[in-house]
Chains A and B, each alone.
Chain A
Amino acid sequence: MSDTRYRRCPQAVWRATRFFLVAAVPPATPTHVGGSAAAVWHALAHEGTLPELVGRVAAEVGAPADDIAADVRALVHSLLPLGLVEVVA
Chain B
Amino acid sequence: MTAPALTSADEWAARLATIGLVAPGEPTTIDRSTAEAVCATAAHQGLACLLGAAVERGTVRADEATTEVISAAWAQRLDWCVRLDSMLLAVVSRLTAADIPVRVLKGVAVATLDEPDPSWRSYGDIDVLVPADRLLAAIDALAGLGLQPAAAPVGRHWLARHGKGITLTHPSGVQVDLHRLLAPGPFGSRVRMACAFERGRTFEVGGTTLTAMADVHRFLHACYHAVLGRVRGPRHRRDVLLLARTVRPAEVAAELADGWSAAVVHAALTWAGDAATLPAEWAQWLAVDPDATDSPHRADRELLAAYSGSFGSLARAELRALRGPLAKARYAAALVWPSRGNLAARGQRRRDHLVHLLRTALPHRSAA
Contacts and interface: CB of A to CB of B under 8 A. Distances in A.
B258 interface: no
A12 B205 CA distance: 8
A13 B206 contact: yes
Interface in A52-66: none
Interface stretch (B83-91, B136-144, B343-351): B83-91
Nearest to A16: B119
B82 interface: yes
Contact of B206 (A12, A17, A19): A12
A24 B86 contact: yes
Contacts of B67: 19
A71 to B, nearest CB: 19
A51 interface: no
Contacts, number: 59
A26 B90 contact: yes
A81 interface: no
B71 A20 contact: yes
Contact of A11 (B79, B119, B206): B206
A17 B52 contact: yes
Interface string A9-42: 0111111111110111111011010000000000
Interface string B42-57: 0000000000110010
A19 B89 CA distance: 26
Given A10-B207, A15-B119, A16-B119, A22 B79 contact: yes
A20 B52 CA distance: 11
A27 B74 CA distance: 22
Chief secondary structure at chain A's binding surface: loop
B82 A30 contact: yes
B153 to A, nearest CB: 29
A33 B157 CA distance: 48
A48 B180 CA distance: 45
Contacts of A15: 78, 81-82, 118-119
Contacts of B83: 24, 29-30
A30 B90 CA distance: 16
A42 B79 CA distance: 18
B119 A30 contact: no
Residue in B74, B89, B119 with the greatest tally of chain A CB atoms within 10 Å: B119
B20 to A, nearest CB: 14
Contacts of B85: 13, 26
A20 B82 CA distance: 14
A25 B206 CA distance: 8
A30 B52 contact: no
Interface of B: 52-53, 56, 67, 71, 74-75, 78-79, 81-83, 85-86, 89-90, 118-119, 205-208
List of 5 A-B pairs having minimum Cβ-Cβ separation, nearest first: A26-B86, A10-B207, A15-B78, A19-B71, A13-B206
Interface of A: 10-20, 22-27, 29-30, 32
15 contacts: A11-B206, A13-B82, A13-B85, A13-B86, A13-B205, A15-B78, A17-B71, A18-B56, A19-B52, A19-B74, A22-B75, A27-B86, A27-B90, A30-B79, A32-B75
